Amino acid sequence: MQIEGSYVLSNKTNSFLRQQKVNNLMHKLFKSKKAISPILATLLLVVIAVAAVVAVYAWVMTYTGHLTGQAGVVLFESNVNFYENGSTIDVDVGNSGTSSTTMIQLYIGTSSASMESQTITPITLAPGGNIQRITVSYSWQLGVIYYFKVVTSSGQSLPWSTQAPASY
């Protein structure tokens, strides 16, 4: 029995000593690890920030490049005149941009989903606030809201709506 007891005691001692060695090694391992210096950490943060700024700049320039490619033509609706006869409408459209364009199509309807194409002759819109008139034969009614859309040769469109006069 003594042999067994001393074996158990020696086994516990060995286990305890092994655990102490592991603890000492872990303590040395963690103690020997050093953090990066504050100068290196600051430099790393600056590099990350610069990389982020470059990425955002590239994205913004790509995005605005697509938008400014069309900025040469800026269409606006100037006036809509409904004639008393109920069958003629004048539509005045302008271009406040820096490039000229040609209006090739006009759509009119009582809803934005059901507009009918009107036959027009192509009209050139010069830049700088130039306004041109399109006169179309279209049967309209008093007080109804009409939807318009002008399409240019470059593919730009200008949609808007206007209510016909309630009375004449």
Q: What is the pLDDT of residues 70-90, one digit of tens each?
A: 558 888 999 999 998 889 999
Model confidence at 53, pLDDT cuts 50, 70, 90, reads very high
Decide which of 49 and 19 is more confident. 49
The whole-angstrom separation of Cα 152 and Cα 111 is: 21
Question: Which domains are assigned to the chain?
Answer: 2-68 (no CATH), 75-163 (2.60.40.1890)
Closest CA to 139 of 101, 89, 75: 89
Helical H segments across the chain, by residue range:
2-32, 38-68
For 27-31, 93-97, 114-118, 133-137, which range has the lowest pLDDT when averaged over its residues? 27-31
Looking at residue 34, its amino acid is K
Q: What's the confidence (pLDDT) of residue 70?
A: 53
Q: Torsion angle of alpha carbons 113, 146, 104, 95, nearest 10°?
A: -120
Report d(CA 151, CA 149) in Å as an integer. Answer: 7
pTM to 2 decimal places: 0.57
